[in-house]
Amino acid sequence: MNRRDWIIKSGLTGTGLLFLNNSIKAIHLTFSQSKSEFTKADFGPEFKWGVAAASYQTEGAWNVDGKSESNWDHFSRIHGKIERGESADTTTDFYHRFAEDIELIKKMNFKVFRFSLSWPRIIPNGTGEVNRNGLGFYHKVIDKCISENIEPWVMIYHWDMPQVLETQGGWANRQIIGWFSEFVEVVTREYANKVKNWMVINEQLSYTGMGYMQGHFAPGRKNLNAFMKSVHYSVLCNAEGGRIIRKNVPGANIGTAFVTSWIEPVDYQKKNIEAAKRLDALINRLFIEPTLGLGYPEDTLPILKKMRNLFEPGDEERMAFDFDFIGVQYYFRTIAKRSMIPGVRANQVPASKRGVPASELDVEIYPDGLYSILKKFSKYSGIKNIIVTENGTCVVDKLENGEVHDQVRIAYFKDHLAALLKAKDEGVNVNGYLVWSLTDNFEWDKGFRTRFGLVYVDFNTLKRTIKDSGLWFKAFLK
Ligand code: GCO
């Protein structure tokens, strides 16, 4: 989920950062006291350790070698949509520097690289003719991973669709089921012999909620009806994508990735406890439960009964797919209170209003929430395996004498890994952890202000520098 709560946003003051440093140390002390220092061996020999990135956020080369305009290329050019007016036209230039970046993954001793495919780079018109240059680029990325003994984990969709499809309604047009299925057919047939680990869609809630309801993401719409359609058609595409991979890739390990947040009421008044349940249904249940054949959480969010108007015969069955793993993406805790926001009637109390440790996106850093979320998801009998497919934080990083001393981020990782290990030791079937993110990159509507990378990028020179957190993983994973 984009690291800002998608209901309200507020800035973090300078003093907030001072508070952050002291509080993080406090958190770290708590966690490390409660959990003796762990080692890589504690997670088991089969545990997957990796880093994650996304096409739009890192590739650049926005109009190179046959790529067409994406919905995000278009959206980021609309005045005022990107916080500082920045663009991802170049961003980290992964398109030309992928070999160097994969060598950095190797240097940090990670074994998995999760990256996504740019739909407009591969099928510029959205459907029909395939751009061989686009397919060829990802062959080079995959081949470089394999040559470095790194597993390529491919995320098929990470929010960048061809603008030509967005103009036809994008996720709010039921035709997306055919469009998306064609894209999945093309890429799974193309890479079946080289790629065994696949994910279908990244965080359906983020691009539907932020893109069709809140207006902060492409395509910038604020329409409850469009949001509902984007939800239902995403659920259908997510399951259909799983079926297509199963058909085209023998022995594939198939997953998909969900937003999560640990949600608690601001106090124990009934109205706020109920609000927290509604926010939990929206953020943690809305997409996983139809995927598991449980349907939409109408019990807690009656407005979801309207979804039935969108159903066509067979939808109920086709919403579900038996994924080999579920990607859990956890960053922060959400404190909920009742509000008048239509439909969900719940709102988040921002971290900066609560004086708790927070990231640069004003969300609470709360490692124990990962433990609680893993326990929560492990209760779904339909989930076979859990991988934490994103976890990380953005703090103010300073490059000094060729080094970045991001101790706060190291504390964040150690405390969240301790929380993961606690859940694992209690029997939760969690078998992997992918750091968000390999390098600093374009954080959607926040542009380059917030840095999530293990590797610092100077966006003027594009020089990469491994931060102390990246060096910590290098030693930890040795
Ligand atoms: C997400 C996306 C990433 C974000 C990351 C930090 O989960 O929102 O997968 O693209 O950049 O989460 O907000």
- Using CA positions, which residue lies closest to atom 7 of ligand 1? 1
Cross-strand bridge partners of residue 326? 256, 386
Ligand 1 centroid distance, CA of 58 (Å): 12
Residue pointed to by tokens 């907030």: 16
What pLDDT is stored for residue 35 in this prediction? 52
Is residue 170 over pLDDT 90?
yes
Is residue 426 over pLDDT 50?
yes
Residue 410 is part of a domain; what is its CATH number? 3.20.20.80
Ligand 1 centroid distance, CA of 129 (Å): 30
Is residue 10 over pLDDT 50?
no
Instruction: Quote the CA–CA distance of 326 and 323 in Å, as a whole number.
Output: 7
- Closest ligand 1 atom number to CA of residue 394: 6
What pLDDT is stored for residue 32 in this prediction? 44
Is residue 466 over pLDDT 60?
yes
Residue pointed to by tokens 């395996």: 385
- Closest ligand 1 atom number to CA of residue 2: 8
List the beta strands (DSSP E) in 219-363. Answer: 253-265, 325-338, 346-348
Instruction: Quote the CA–CA distance of 452 and 442 in Å, as a whole number.
Output: 10
Tens digits of residue pLDDT in 296-349:
999 999 999 999 999 999 999 999 999 999 999 999 999 999 999 888 999 999
Residue 16 binned pLDDT confidence (cut-offs 50, 70, 90): very low
Ligand 1 centroid distance, CA of 451 (Å): 11
- Closest ligand 1 atom number to CA of residue 54: 10
- Closest ligand 1 atom number to CA of residue 259: 7
Is residue 276 over pLDDT 50?
yes
Residues annotated as catalytic are: 203, 390
- Closest ligand 1 atom number to CA of residue 443: 11
409, 436, 449: residue to mutate for ligand 1 pocket, most atoms within 8 A of CB: 436
- Closest ligand 1 atom number to CA of residue 206: 8
Is residue 98 over pLDDT 50?
yes
Residue pointed to by tokens 């696949």: 198
Ligand 1 site: residues with CB under 6 angstroms? 1-3, 54, 57, 202-203, 206, 329, 390, 436, 443, 452
446-466 average pLDDT score: 98
Ligand 1 centroid distance, CA of 2 (Å): 5
Is residue 62 over pLDDT 90?
yes
Q: What domain range is 226 assigned to?
A: 3-476
Q: Residue 238: in which H helix or E strand, if any?
A: helix 224-248
82, 201, 206, 448: residue to mutate for ligand 1 pocket, most atoms within 8 A of CB: 206
Ligand 1 centroid distance, CA of 300 (Å): 27
Per the structure, the count of domains in the chain is 1
Instruction: Quote the CA–CA distance of 281 and 275 in Å, as a whole number.
Output: 10
Ligand 1 centroid distance, CA of 270 (Å): 33
57, 157, 203: residue to mutate for ligand 1 pocket, most atoms within 8 A of CB: 203
Tokens of 47: 């545990």
4, 394, 443: residue to mutate for ligand 1 pocket, most atoms within 8 A of CB: 443
116-136 average pLDDT score: 98
Burial of 104 (0-12, 13-18, 19+ CB in 10 A): buried
Q: What are phi and psi of 359, to 5 degrees?
A: -85, 180
What pLDDT is stored for residue 21 in this prediction? 46
- Using CA positions, which residue lies closest to atom 4 of ligand 1? 2
What pLDDT is stored for residue 37 in this prediction? 87
Tens digits of residue pLDDT in 239-271:
999 999 999 999 999 999 999 999 999 999 999
Is residue 34 over pLDDT 50?
no
What pLDDT is stored for residue 20 in this prediction? 43
What pLDDT is stored for residue 84 in this prediction? 97
List the beta strands (DSSP E) in 23-68. Answer: 48-52
Among residues 347, 331, 350, the alpha carbon closest in space to that of 339 is found at: 347
Ligand 1 centroid distance, CA of 470 (Å): 18
What pLDDT is stored for residue 342 in this prediction? 82
124-145 average pLDDT score: 98
